[in-house]
Amino acid sequence: MATLEASARTATARRGGFSPLRRQETIAGYLFLLPNILGFLVFSSIPVVATFSISLLDWDLIRAPRFVGIDNYVKLLTDDAVFRKVLFNTAYYVIGTVPAGIVLSLLLALAMNANVRGIALFRVIFFIPVISASVAVAVMWRWLYNTDYGLINTMLISIGLKGVPWLASTAWAMPAVILMAIWKSLGYNMVIFLAGLQSIPAHLHEAAGIDGANGVQRFRHITLPLLAPTTFFVLVISVISSFQVFDLAFVLTKGGPGDATNTMVMYIYNQAFQFFHMGYAAAIAWVLFAIIFVITLVQHQLQKRWVHYEHE
């Protein structure tokens, strides 16, 4: 009897249909997904579409909205010197945090991949900044950067160097934000790289060692190529998150001194909730989305040249 039922299900599948049991399982699966799908539509998709409509308006939340078409975009791209400044600042931040963050987190993951006693404790210690509140982290680093009694300047002075006006200098403020951001996200990328390292078959390193390859050669010819998909994932999420930096810079410097650390998301916040230029803020948000979308698309196309998956 069981053989006949199995044969009937197989015949139904070959004809392209679904058995009653399979149909019930499919419906049940979609019902389980329905709350998440509805949440995505209501709280993500619809607001995103709404912001595009708002970007075509001149609206301050008090007076009736006035349709201005693409005027907000034209002003933003041609007549807004502050936007060009925050775009430069954001690019500076991305270039400063992404490459250094990836290299340091990879080196840290290699160190944490050692099979020694107590290594789990060190992994937890390095991951603590990731789960720490961004506001608390920024407040702590604000104390560390203090020109007069901050720990960093105290250490510099103790070795005969001059203290640095980290948060009061337009030249040093952004590097200060970058250093703090790298420290904050180092543990997250470390865990991702660590998972990638532990998925590499050990027999490949053993075979290379038998053939006479040293540690550097095994890292270059085995670890890095097999870690390419993980590196690509870390690169994409790092670039996206770096373009959206807000909380760390806002608490640490509030965009100052001047506009030295003002970023695109902070500019959106200021335009929307300080000056109540809702249409203009929405236009900035869509320009930021377009920038991230294009860069991610370029990364996806370029990864075909250097990322190779096992099934290939």
pTM comes to 0.86
The rounded distance, in Å, linking the Cα atoms of 241 and 130 is 13
Q: Are 248 and 184 in contact (CB under 8 A)?
A: yes
Is there a domain that residue 36 lies in? yes
Query: By residue range, what is the domain housing residue 24?
Result: 2-54
Asked if the model's pLDDT at residue 117 lies above 90, the reply is: no
Give the highest mean pLDDT range of 41-55, 67-81, 114-128. 67-81
Whole-Å CA distances, 59 to 63, 66, 82 = 7, 6, 20
Say if residue 192 is in the same domain as residue 79.
yes
For the segment 96-110, what is each residue's pLDDT rounded down to a tens digit?
999 999 999 999 999
Q: Are 224 and 208 in contact (CB under 8 A)?
A: no
The closest of 35, 65, 36 to 50, measured between CA atoms, is 65
Is there a domain that residue 311 lies in? no
Say if residue 28 is in the same domain as residue 177.
no
Per-residue pLDDT band at 310 (split at 50, 70, 90): low
Predicted local distance difference test score (pLDDT) of residue 275 = 93
The rounded distance, in Å, linking the Cα atoms of 214 and 220 is 10
Per-residue pLDDT band at 202 (split at 50, 70, 90): confident
- Bridge partners (DSSP) listed for residue 9: none
Q: What are phi and psi of 10, to 5 degrees?
A: -65, -45
Reported as type and span, the H/E element at residue 264 is helix 264-273
**Placement of tokens 């070959």 in the chain:** 14
Asked if the model's pLDDT at residue 11 lies above 80, the reply is: no
Span 17-27, mean pLDDT?
78
Q: Are 266 and 86 in contact (CB under 8 A)?
A: yes
The rounded distance, in Å, linking the Cα atoms of 287 and 289 is 5
Say if residue 121 is in the same domain as residue 245.
yes
Span 258-275, mean pLDDT?
94
Is there a domain that residue 312 lies in? no
Least confidently predicted of 13-17, 111-115, 136-140: 13-17
Asked if the model's pLDDT at residue 171 lies above 60, the reply is: yes
109 SS3 class: helix
Domains: count for the chain: 2
Asked if the model's pLDDT at residue 216 lies above 50, the reply is: yes
Asked if the model's pLDDT at residue 2 lies above 90, the reply is: no
